[in-house]
Amino acid sequence: MSRVAAIIGGGVIGGGWAARFLLNGWDVRVFDPDPQAARKIGEVLDNARHALPMLYDVALPDEGRLSFCPTMSETVAGAEWIQESVPERLALKRKVFQTIQEHCDPGAVIGSSTSGFKPSELQGCATRAEQIVVTHPFNPVYLLPLVELVTSPANDAGLVARAQDTLTALGLYPLHLTQEIDAHIADRLLEAVWREALWLVHDGIATTAEIDDAIRMGFGLRWAQMGLFETYRIAGGEAGMKHFIDQFGPALAWPWTKLMDVPDMTDALAQRIADQSDAQSGHLSIRQLERKRDNNLIAMMRALRQQGNAAGRLINTHNAQLPRPAAAPDGPLITQDRVIPVDWTDRNGHMNEGRYGQIFSDAADAVLDRIGAGPDYIAAGHSYFTVETGLRFLAETHAGERVEVQTRITQGTGKKLRCWHEMRRKADGTRLATCDQLMIHVGLDTRRSCDPRPDILAKVEALAAAHQRLAPLTSG
């Protein structure tokens, strides 16, 4: 049975949470009095469906069911997780928690998306304070992993542990703050940058576009992969962090920043920011900007996956935990079931020919894992090398499409392992490409061909014999 999440408030953030749960297979119920809520969530969901699956090398679970409820009581009844994302007003949030707690399961996690309130403030008028935690996400919630999980002494330890497990299983990174503080950690940092940026516009020193360039051409790139302290450690050179502090610490006392002052947000300043922002990005709709942002985020996080660093390491772990495709026992192997990521496409707007080599190579790895010739076998000094491939491109493949590769072993004798891979579009079964691949068994000490271990060969022969009995291949 599907797990159920209740989303209270389905705006920018509630919509992102709904998408995160749905795409991880949860059923989602939404309560939002805005008559436009279903349309808005639908649009966020379209973006999320386009983006999130591209992060992974295996398909996500089947999407859960989305429903909209007319009352909060129906929304939360029986839900395992309740995520509050109503506007940032303490009185409103407390009232919402009271209604939620009248109708929800006392064991359910109630997470608040609040950007600034402390859990003890939210728990103030609650019937069961122990149930309410802050789970502060980052926009877009369906792509960015960080969730600040902020708890107070009133929280139940078991519930907090469950909250951490659930967030992790959703591919999120719960950063647990056990000391509550206004605006948590990340928003304190963001607010400091935001404050300085407002001053720069207010004082006519920089435009919104120039400030954005100053971030994205430089330190923004550093932050995504090493954060602040690790970056500055390197900036201290061989002498390291201590030297960095000695050198730059005194600068904090110089008038480099406006520190805690905030410019008066007059109508004139607000208009100046809005006009500059229109000049910078007004040619794109919000949904187009979101697509651009999401594609960039996917490409960057996939690059971090390749390096196994920062958010990439987290996504690799989640990727490894996703269920692998299962084949019918008497059918071909299902060696790939995945979505084509945006960084696999080329200037013709379709999957680049080099990536077909990649997907069939990944399919071959799945075959090798299946016969026991995976990483352990390689570590023991044996492997298979590809010596020949014949590729055919039969139809265009585009970013965001889910594809499946079916593989048959067409020769499994001695050193030779020959595979026939077919890649099909999941939505309609269209055959997109085929690959005839010959691999030869090698000894990694000599880098020359040799016979496989008998147990490996026995598995190859058994699979080859089973695949011989399959219905002949069709050209459809």
Ligand X SMILES: C[N+](C)(C)CC(=O)CC(=O)[O-]
- Residues annotated within the binding site for NAD(+) are 9-14
Binding site, by residue number, is 9-14
**Inter-residue contact 420 to 333 (CB < 8 Å):** no
Are residues 173 and 136 in contact, defined by beta-carbon separation less than 8 angstroms?
A: no
Question: Which residues in 176-235 contact ligand X (CB under 6 A)?
Answer: 187, 190
Beta strands in 209-347 (DSSP E): 333-339
Question: If binding is defined by CB under 6 A, does position 148 make contact with ligand X?
Answer: no
Cα distance between residue 367 and residue 408, in whole Å: 9
Using DSSP's 3-state secondary structure scheme, residue 184 falls into coil
Q: How far apart are CA 146 and CA 173, in angstroms?
A: 5
**Dihedral of CA 252/255/256/259: which sign?**
positive
- Binding track over 85-124 against ligand X, x by CB under 6 A: ------------------------------x---------
Q: Are 429 and 374 in contact (CB under 8 A)?
A: no
- Among ligand NAI, ligand X, none, what does residue 37 contact (CB within 5–8 Å per kind)? ligand NAI
**Of 162 and 293, which has the nearer Cβ to ligand X?**
293
Closest chain position to ligand NAI (CB)? 11
Q: Residue 75 binds what, of ligand X, ligand NAI, none (CB under 5 to 8 Å, by partner type)?
A: none
- Of positions 21, 138, 384, 420, contacts ligand X by CB under 6 A: 138
Minimum CB–partner distance for residue 271 and ligand NAI (Å): 21
Partner interacting with residue 86 (select from ligand NAI, ligand X, none; CB below 5-8 Å by kind): ligand NAI
Q: Which does 152 bind (CB under 5 to 8 A by kind): ligand X, ligand NAI, none?
A: none
131 binding partner (options ligand NAI, ligand X, none; Cβ < 5 to 8 Å by kind)? none
Q: How far apart are CA 136 and CA 315, in angstroms?
A: 19
Pick the closer one to ligand X by CB: 190 or 192: 190
Greatest CA separation for the chain: 79
**CA–CA gap between residue 5 and residue 403 (Å, rounded):** 29
Give, for 319, the enclosing helix (H) or strand (E): helix 310-321
- Which one of ligand X, ligand NAI, none interacts with residue 190, CB within 5 to 8 A by kind? ligand X
Q: Which two tokens stand for residue 429?
A: 């079964």
Q: Which amino acid is at 265?
A: M
Nearest distance from C-beta of residue 152 to ligand X, angstroms: 19
Question: CB–CB of 93/8 below 8 Å?
Answer: no
Among ligand X, ligand NAI, none, what binds residue 187 when CB lies within 5 to 8 Å by partner kind? ligand X
Cβ pair 396, 350 in contact under 8 A: yes
Q: In the complex, what is the shortest distance from the CB of residue 142 to ligand NAI, in angstroms, rounded to a whole number?
A: 13
Residues found near ligand NAI in the complex (CB under 6 A): 8-14, 31-34, 37, 85-88, 96, 113-115, 136-137, 139
The CB-of-455 to ligand NAI minimum distance in angstroms stands at 53
Report the site for ligand X in 253-312 (rule: CB under 6 A): none
Which residue is listed with tokens 């190859």?
Answer: 460
Instruction: State the DSSP H helix or E strand holding residue 168, giving kind and residue range, or none if neither.
Output: helix 157-169
* Binding residues for ligand X (CB under 6 A): 115, 138-139, 187, 190
